Amino acid sequence: MKLNCIVVDDEPIARDILARYISQIPYLNMVAACNDAFEAMQLLNKEDIDLVILDINMPRLTGLDMLRSLKKYPAVIITSAYPEYALEGFELSVTDYLLKPFSFPRFVQATEKVVSKNQLQSPASSSAMPVEDHGFLMVKSDKKLAKVFYREILYVEAYGNYIFIHRDQDKIMSKQTLTQFEEQLPVGRFVRIHKSYIVSLKAIKFLEGNEVSIGSKKLPVGKVYREKLLNSLR
């Protein structure tokens, strides 16, 4: 199912960039691009909108003031050149806060958070299969976006400014740091065990000394990560 979204930004170039990004994401449907908060508020009253991509500094009414004036609003991703408003944004329960200029992969990460949140709130969460097993990431790899389900990931390996996502049958290379990828993972399913490795908790066969066994692979456990790993396995 596609998410209906609107862009709210008074800068034409910013609206064009976001429109281009949205057009490349198959689960997003751009309903409109608004150049101020009042136009967006009218649209929210008339249309069924799932996501608002919202700038902060706009004439007449700021993005944050718009959210305060609404009794109820859908998922929100803030886009701003000003980091000092981030705390205030998260106090208003925004899903993510993107600092301009941001890359397409970073934008995809933010929209994936909205998808994951919607899945957790879906009535389907009462079905026999856990909702989390349906969770996935869209990972940029070799000029394409690859769909990677959380349940498929065995471990993730750092290689400079790249990572390798190891699955049962293959591995995917993506240009991002291990820390950047770690921020996208659901809490409680993965753990950092080393400066170069993140592992799936369910994939761990055993812990022996300073190594964990993942399938036929043994990975090192760094001293600073050992206690967190032990707590995660309890």
Q: Which long-range contacts (CB under 8 A, 24 or more apart) does 225-231 make?
A: 225/191, 225/192, 225/193, 225/194, 226/193, 228/191, 228/192, 229/191, 229/193
Q: What is the 3-state secondary structure (H, E, C) of 48-66?
A: CCCEEEEECCCCCCCHHHH
pLDDT for position 16: 96
Q: What is the pTM of this model?
A: 0.55
Burial of 139 (0-12, 13-18, 19+ CB in 10 A): buried
Q: Each residue's pLDDT tens digit in the chain (234 positions)?
A: 789 999 999 999 999 999 999 999 989 999 999 999 999 999 999 999 999 999 999 988 999 999 999 989 999 999 999 888 888 888 888 888 999 999 998 999 889 888 877 665 544 433 333 334 457 888 888 878 888 888 899 999 999 889 999 998 899 999 999 998 888 887 778 999 999 999 999 899 988 889 999 988 999 999 999 888 888 776
- The reported pLDDT for the residue numbered 147 is 86
Task: Pull the structure tokens for residue 33.
Answer: 């691009």
pLDDT, residue 117, reads: 72
Sketch out the chain's domains with CATH numbers.
3-121 (3.40.50.2300), 147-233 (2.40.50.1020)
